[in-house]
């Protein structure tokens, strides 16, 4: 080729020189076409990568939130972030378990802009699917919502068992993103559960700890399953005094004193309740009882709760020194809180955890629930929490000493939705 060009240039005849100069634009156009088409193929690959990333991210968001609106927003954000320059992203849902992302951009010319009036649009499409068998997981009976820190911490000769009903065991879900979201230390700690799902990591520091099933990590975080109650709770959080006017409760006695019904009424807003040693109290109310200040049950005292007990203002529960709290269904349920007995808001943030310690016991009638999404729960010493079927939602749980935390199936009556399934259930299918 170079030899021919040399002949054209040095030829004495004018025709060859003219032909050569006529060919120059053709040669430039050919080179420009090759460069532009090569760049467009590169753009096509980038668009395909962006579409793939958007579809997968949208599928994970659909898995996590079960919301197509949230999935669409996430898909379009991730797809656009994976491209340099303006793009158009279109998200559709061909089926309930599928999300399709199309990304397109105008072709950028380097040489052909002067020759082509209508530049082509480059487009790429990706389709992601949630497999039916893994897209959802049954509700857990222990849901720990803290986004960081140790969501579940076992320390000592303790037992946490969510499978006491062998045919209706339930799972544990931990939202924390930290490496020690599930932390087990001490040589005799035992964790028994059919399903342990952790967003972050698992850390074990002892030599003899036992875990009945391999925890799954990387699980999508879940939201508060009782978030629909927050509006109801807001109405109960505004009229607490700064300090309680007095502490009320049955006096310590040498024998077993019994108070059939402890009538609180509106005075609960201003006073603190303590159930003292050797005293039994039946706390009964058809209406929710609001606790602005701590409830303490101590020294072999017993509280039989037949009401919705709502903690606000940072108030907390403390069952200690052999105290006993027995939870039963109210005679009359308040519809908004049906199925729940101990309740607080996402923002209650008690300064210290709700505690069962020093031989205290918390026994919950099957079918009830505890919703304290803004608070922590701690069992320590020779204490026990027991229920054959319960739903517990908290920020985090710590079990230490020789404590026992034994619960069974998630009650069917509880409004706890299915959880997002395994990340393995997301597949890019084209």
Q: Are strands 419-420 and 136-137 parallel, antiparallel or unpaired?
A: antiparallel
Give this prediction's pTM. 0.72
For the sheet containing 377-379, what is the strand order? 202-204, 182-185, 152-156, 397-401, 377-379, 354-356, 317-320, 295-298, 271-275, 246-248
Intervals of the chain under pLDDT 70? 1-40, 108-119, 132-136, 166-169, 206-208, 237-238, 245-270, 421-424
Dist CA 248 CA 40 (whole Å): 79
Q: In this structure, what are the phi and psi dihedrals at residue 426, rounded to the nearest 5 degrees?
A: -95, 125
pLDDT digits over 402-422, tens only?
999 999 888 877 777 777 766
Contacts of residue 246, defined as CB under 8 A and 6 or more positions apart, other chains included, come to 271, 272
Q: Which tens digit of pLDDT belongs to each residue from 153-190? A: 999 899 999 988 766 668 999 999 999 999 998 778 99
- Tokens at 249, concatenated: 């409760």
In terms of DSSP H, where are the helices of 223-315? 230-234
What's residue 267's pLDDT? 52
């Amino acid at each position: 080729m170079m030899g021919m060009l040399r002949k054209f240039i040095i030829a004495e005849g004018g025709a060859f020189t003219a032909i050569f100069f006529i060919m120059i634009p053709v040669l430039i156009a050919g080179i420009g076409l090759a460069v532009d088409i090569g760049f467009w193929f590169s753009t096509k690959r980038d668009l395909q990568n962006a579409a793939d990333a958007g579809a997968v991210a949208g599928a994970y968001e659909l898995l996590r939130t079960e919301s197509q609106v949230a999935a669409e927003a996430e898909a379009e954000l991730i797809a656009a972030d994976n491209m340099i320059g303006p793009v158009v992203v279109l998200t559709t849902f061909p089926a309930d378990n599928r999300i399709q992302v199309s990304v397109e951009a105008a072709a950028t010319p380097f040489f052909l802009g002067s020759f082509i009036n209508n530049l082509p649009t480059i487009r790429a499409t990706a389709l992601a699917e949630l497999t039916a068998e893994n897209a959802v997981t049954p509700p857990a009976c222990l849901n720990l919502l803290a986004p960081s820190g140790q969501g579940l911490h076992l320390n000592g000769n303790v037992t946490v068992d969510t499978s006491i009903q062998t045919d209706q065991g339930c799972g544990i879900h931990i939202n924390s993103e930290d490496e020690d979201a599930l932390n087990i230390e001490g040589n005799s700690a035992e964790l028994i559960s059919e399903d342990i799902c952790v967003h972050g990591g698992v850390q074990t520091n002892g030599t003899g700890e036992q875990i009945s099933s391999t925890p799954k990590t990387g699980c999508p975080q879940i939201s508060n399953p009782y978030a629909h109650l927050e509006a109801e709770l807001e109405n109960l959080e505004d009229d607490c005094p700064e300090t309680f006017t007095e502490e009320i409760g049955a006096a310590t006695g040498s024998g077993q004193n019994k108070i059939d019904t402890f009538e609180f009424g509106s005075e609960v807003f201003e006073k603190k309740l303590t159930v003292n040693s050797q005293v039994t109290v039946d706390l009964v109310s058809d209406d929710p009882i609001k606790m602005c200040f701590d409830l303490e049950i101590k020294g072999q005292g017993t509280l039989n709760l037949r009401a919705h007990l709502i903690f606000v203002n940072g108030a907390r529960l403390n069952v200690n020194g052999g105290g006993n709290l027995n939870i039963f269904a109210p005679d009359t349920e308040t519809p908004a809180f049906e199925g729940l007995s101990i309740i607080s808001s996402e923002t209650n943030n008690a300064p210290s955890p709700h505690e069962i310690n020093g031989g205290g016991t918390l026994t919950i009638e099957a079918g009830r629930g505890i919703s304290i999404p803004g608070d922590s729960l701690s069992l320590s010493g020779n204490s026990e929490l027991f229920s054959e079927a319960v739903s517990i939602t908290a920020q985090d749980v710590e079990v230490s000493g020789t404590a026992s935390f034994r619960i069974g199936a998630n009650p069917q009556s509880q409004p706890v939705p299915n959880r997002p399934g395994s990340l393995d259930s997301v597949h890019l299918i084209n």
